[in-house]
């Protein structure tokens, strides 16, 4: 694997946690291995590893984008990752307020529901 892959895997583990990454790696097959390598290098080794934003800032933007696009499972995954990124419930609320204005109230409304359910599962009181 490449140096970017190694960097990406380190960042991915620091954001999503070892348990999540270990499950994803265990579920990997020959069919999706190239895709997993690509997202580890591209998303985690390039974008998430850049020095100009903190993991907290990237977390807020990622959740807002995922909510705006209706990627609900990914919203929940990245809300769980806030335990590692430092994004607070207040940060996420503000990001979703932006979603409401710039991507639509229905997208934000559903995202608020998902975030509240995920926080409940995490034992976090927003």
CATH number at residue 71: 1.20.1290.10
pLDDT of residue 51: 96
Give per-residue pLDDT as tens, 5-14.
999 999 999 9
Domains held by the chain: number: 2
Position 86 scores a pLDDT of 98
Q: Domain of 23? A: 1-51
Q: Tell whether 47 and 66 lie within a shared domain.
A: no
Pair 93, 32 in one domain: no
Q: What is the pLDDT of residue 44?
A: 98
Q: Are residues 44 and 65 in the same domain?
A: no
Asked if residue 38 and residue 66 are part of one domain, the reply reads no
36 and 63 in a common domain: no
In the predicted structure, residue 93 carries a pLDDT above the cut 90? yes
**Is the per-residue pLDDT at 82 higher than 90?**
yes
pLDDT value at 126 more than 90: no
116 and 57 in a common domain = yes
Q: What is the mean pLDDT of the chain?
A: 97
Contacts of the segment 87-95: beta carbons below 8 A, 24+ positions apart: 87/56, 87/59, 87/60, 87/63, 89/119, 89/124, 89/126, 91/56, 91/59, 91/60, 92/60, 92/63, 92/126, 93/126, 94/60, 95/60, 95/61, 95/63, 95/64, 95/67
pLDDT in tens, 17-67: 999 999 999 999 999 999 999 999 999 999 999 999 999 999 999 999 999
Q: Are residues 64 and 36 in the same domain?
A: no
pLDDT at 72 over 90: yes
Identify whether residues 82 and 41 lie together within a single domain: no
Assess whether pLDDT exceeds 90 at residue 1: no
């Amino acid at each position: 694997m490449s140096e970017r892959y190694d960097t990406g895997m380190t960042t991915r583990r620091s954001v999503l946690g070892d348990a999540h990454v270990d499950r994803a790696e265990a579920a990997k097959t020959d069919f999706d291995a190239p895709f997993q390598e690509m997202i580890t290098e591209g998303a985690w080794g390039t974008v998430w590893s850049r020095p100009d934003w903190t993991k907290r800032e990237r977390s807020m933007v990622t959740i807002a984008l995922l909510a705006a696009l209706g990627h609900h499972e990914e919203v929940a995954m990245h809300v769980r990752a806030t335990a590692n990124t430092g994004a607070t419930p207040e940060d996420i609320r503000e990001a979703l307020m932006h979603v409401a204005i710039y991507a639509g109230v229905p997208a934000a409304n559903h995202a608020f529901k998902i975030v509240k359910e995920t926080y409940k599962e995490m034992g976090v009181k927003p």
